[in-house]
Structures are given as structure tokens and as C-alpha cells.
């Protein structure tokens, strides 16, 4: 028999059950519906602490630990469900409260050097990104490509990184909440989840505005951010360059030709270390080149990242400062236009799309 007390104990162990049986570790965020019958591509399930229940907004169902394990294992009787929950979470049934109290508690597992990275990104928006890429070339949207050229990026870069153009960021990811009346549109920068480039679970947008470019970046609300090209940390690449900003990574990869990823802000340096640490050693890059901005914040981040890379055991180097005192790779690229490189038109541009541009480096560049 399962006592009332045991029933209550088990009921409160939903977080343990979710971790052990569904791999859900971050209860602050929505997760994939646990029901095998619901093909939930978009995390729709949520944990409710007060009742220790899980509710899925996709299929509208709610579970406690017993009905959840029943759902997962296809068992209907309560005693069987209780046994299955107890087994999953390591709870001993049929123990007197005194015996339970006197039994030594299991030692907490030692905390790893770096925590597991938070689950990042949301639903797949690959198709929306494809549409935005097409819209970069639609009549009336020339402002998008003009903005990219202003930043030193040509049509090859736009294609390589699948950059796009939208007027309303919600059309690419519904979690955006952007209010910028002045804007002429937004450049979209997709975050591909892996090297197959078939899934995008995060997008950042940059405002295009008249006159002075404000360089404002927008991120979807309530979605944890992965690093840009984070997958490069898990592909056994010989070398990976890591910059602070996304546009910097694009600029740097233009003149190094090497795999380049971006933190998207120094605050994400922590995630960088977490992802590397939790990647099997053989999958990590052979070498990491740290390329933060040349300002105080950037130098501090460089110091922290190098210390972490030593702890994790990854060979690393720091990019020397840019000649001429440029703050970052994109500034260097913009400054050297006309001197080290210039845009040239592709021959035979596609009719109706206007000229397509690519970058030509000067021979001495």
C-alpha cells in the first residue's frame, strides 16, 4: 500500500521525474510536451510549482507525477504508477517515516566546474528566415542591402549567413516585441542549430534607420540566447575564432576565411565556457582564437575567457589589436574600404534585382 504521506512526497517530486524521465533541467522555461502522442515541435509544456503539475498548451492536457508516468509507460493502475515514479526518482516506498529520517541523505553531487548551459532557442523558424532572405532582394527593400554594404558586407556574405530583411520582426519570430517607429526595416540574422544548416531556433534583428545608424540590436523576448554559430564548438574544427558581435564575426571571417562564431555580447562569455566544458574533448575545436573588442569591457572578457580555456584545457590565442586603432573587426573592415578592398559588381546581375556586389581585395591587402 502507498501511504498518504508517500503519495504527497512523490507528488512533490515532479522536478526529479521530469529530469530523470524527460531530460528537462530548466523548469523556468517551457519544454517539449512529455506526451508521446503529441509531436510538439515548439516547447509548449510548463511546470507549475504550486500543484507540482505539468500543463501542455499544445494539447491542453495536465499531469501530476502519477498520470505523467502512466502516460510515459502506458500504465493505468495507481500502485504501479507510484512504484514507477518512486523508481525513477530514487524514492524508497514502504519505509517508516522514522527509518526515512534516520537514513543518511545522499551526498549532493559535486558542482561541476561549469554549469550545464541553459537550453537556448525556441521553435524552428528556418522557413521564415528563407523568406526574409528572399525579401532582401524584393523591389522596395533595397535599403537592407544598402545597410549591409555600409557595414562592409556584400551579397556573398548575405547568402553565406542567410541574412534577410523584414519590416515586422514578428513575421520571423513571434517572440519579438519591437517598437521602433523610425525604422525602415530590419536585417535578420539567423542562428543555425548545427552544421547541416537545416534548423534555425533563434534570430537576432538589427534596426535600419534613416540618417544616423543607431546599430540597435533586438532579440526575441523570453527566449534564452544561444551563441551565434555555437555549433562550431562541437565539430572538432582545427580552429575557431570567436568575436563579441555578430557583424564582427562576419567581417572577421571575410579576411581570415576561418570558422568564426560570436558571443553576441560579453555577458555570454559564461555560456561559451559552459558549452565548451560540456562538449566531449574530441569534439571541441583544436584551438580557439579570442577576438573581443578593443575596449575595457572586451579586454576584461578576454582575460576571463582565457582563464576558462586554460581550466577546460583548450589551446587558445588572442587576436592582436587591429592596426589603426579600430575597436572591432567590422570597424576595421569599414575603415579599410577603398584602401584594402572595394565592392565590385558581379557580371551578369540577375534582371530585376539590380546589381549584385562582391568584395574585391587589393593585391597588397
- List residues near Zn ion by CB under 5 A: 33, 35, 38, 56, 58-59
Instruction: Please identify, using beta-carbon distances, which residue of 32 and 271 lies nearer to Zn ion.
Output: 32
What is the C-alpha separation between 273 and 263, in angstroms, rounded? 11
Instruction: Please identify, using beta-carbon distances, which residue of 37 and 352 lies nearer to Zn ion.
Output: 37
What is the C-alpha separation between 241 and 218, in angstroms, rounded? 24
Which residues, other chains included, contact 260 with Cβ-Cβ below 8 Å and sequence gap of 6+?
229, 232, 240, 241, 242, 243, 249, 250, 252, 253
Cα distances (angstroms) measured from residue 166 to each of 197, 221, 300: 21, 17, 35
Instruction: Please identify, using beta-carbon distances, which residue of 54 and 203 lies nearer to Zn ion.
Output: 54
- Closest CB 130 distance from Zn ion, rounded Å: 28
Instruction: Please identify, using beta-carbon distances, which residue of 33 and 290 lies nearer to Zn ion.
Output: 33
- Closest CB 70 distance from Zn ion, rounded Å: 15
Instruction: Please identify, using beta-carbon distances, which residue of 60 and 139 lies nearer to Zn ion.
Output: 60
Grid coordinates in use for 188?
A: 535578420
Instruction: Please identify, using beta-carbon distances, which residue of 32 and 284 lies nearer to Zn ion.
Output: 32
Mind spelling out the 3-state secondary structure of 78-147? HHHHHHHHHHHHCCCCCCCHHHHHHCCCCCCCCCCCCCCCCCCCCCCCHHHHHHHHHHCCCCCCHHHHHH
Residue labelled with grid coordinates 583548450: 314
- Closest CB 32 distance from Zn ion, rounded Å: 9
Instruction: Please identify, using beta-carbon distances, which residue of 59 and 239 lies nearer to Zn ion.
Output: 59
- Closest CB 111 distance from Zn ion, rounded Å: 33
- Closest CB 44 distance from Zn ion, rounded Å: 6
Instruction: Please identify, using beta-carbon distances, which residue of 66 and 332 lies nearer to Zn ion.
Output: 66
Instruction: Please identify, using beta-carbon distances, which residue of 41 and 236 lies nearer to Zn ion.
Output: 41
What is the C-alpha separation between 116 and 25, in angstroms, rounded? 9
Judge whether 226 and 120 are in contact, CB under 8 Å.
yes
- Closest CB 35 distance from Zn ion, rounded Å: 5
Cα distances (angstroms) measured from residue 149 to each of 124, 217, 295, 329, 351: 28, 18, 25, 15, 20
Amino acid at each position: 500500500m502507498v501511504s498518504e504521506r508517500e503519495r504527497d512526497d512523490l507528488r512533490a517530486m515532479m522536478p526529479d521525474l521530469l529530469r530523470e524521465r524527460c531530460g528537462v533541467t530548466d523548469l523556468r522555461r517551457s519544454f517539449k510536451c512529455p506526451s508521446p502522442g503529441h509531436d510538439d515541435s515548439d516547447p509548449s509544456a510548463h511546470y507549475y510549482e504550486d500543484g507540482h503539475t505539468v500543463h501542455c498548451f499544445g494539447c491542453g492536457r495536465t499531469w501530476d507525477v502519477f498520470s505523467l508516468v502512466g502516460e510515459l509507460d502506458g500504465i493505468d493502475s495507481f500502485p504501479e504508477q507510484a512504484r514507477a515514479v518512486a523508481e525513477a526518482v530514487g524514492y524508497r516506498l514502504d519505509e517508516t517515516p522514522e527509518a526515512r529520517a534516520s537514513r543518511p541523505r545522499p551526498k549532493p553531487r559535486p558542482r561541476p566546474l561549469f554549469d550545464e548551459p541553459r537550453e537556448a532557442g525556441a521553435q524552428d523558424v528556418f522557413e521564415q528566415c528563407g523568406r526574409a532572405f528572399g525579401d532582401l532582394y524584393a523591389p522596395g527593400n533595397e535599403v537592407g542591402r544598402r545597410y549591409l554594404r555600409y557595414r562592409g558586407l556584400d551579397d556573398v556574405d548575405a547568402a553565406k549567413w542567410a541574412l534577410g530583411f523584414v519590416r515586422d520582426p514578428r513575421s520571423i519570430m513571434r517572440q519579438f516585441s519591437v517598437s521602433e517607429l523610425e525604422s525602415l526595416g530590419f536585417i535578420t540574422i539567423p542562428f543555425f542549430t548545427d552544421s547541416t544548416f537545416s534548423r534555425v531556433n533563434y534570430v537576432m534583428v538589427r534596426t535600419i534607420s534613416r540618417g544616423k545608424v543607431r546599430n540597435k540590436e533586438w532579440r526575441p523576448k523570453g527566449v534564452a540566447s544561444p551563441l551565434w554559430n555555437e555549433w562550431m564548438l562541437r565539430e572538432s574544427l582545427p580552429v575557431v575564432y570567436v568575436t563579441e558581435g555578430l557583424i564582427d564575426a562576419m567581417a572577421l571571417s571575410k579576411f581570415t576565411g576561418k570558422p568564426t562564431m560570436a558571443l553576441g555580447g560579453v555577458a555570454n562569455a559564461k555560456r561559451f565556457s559552459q558549452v565548451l566544458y560540456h562538449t566531449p574533448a574530441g569534439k571541441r575545436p583544436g584551438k580557439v582564437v579570442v577576438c573581443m573588442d578593443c575596449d575595457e569591457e572586451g579586454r576584461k572578457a578576454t582575460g576571463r575567457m582565457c582563464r576558462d580555456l586554460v581550466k577546460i584545457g583548450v589551446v587558445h590565442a588572442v587576436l592582436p589589436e587591429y592596426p589603426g586603432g579600430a575597436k572591432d573587426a567590422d570597424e576595421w573592415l569599414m575603415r579599410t574600404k577603398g584602401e584594402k578592398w572595394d565592392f565590385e559588381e558581379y557580371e551578369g546581375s540577375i534582371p530585376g534585382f539590380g546589381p549584385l556586389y562582391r568584395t574585391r581585395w587589393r593585391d597588397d591587402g
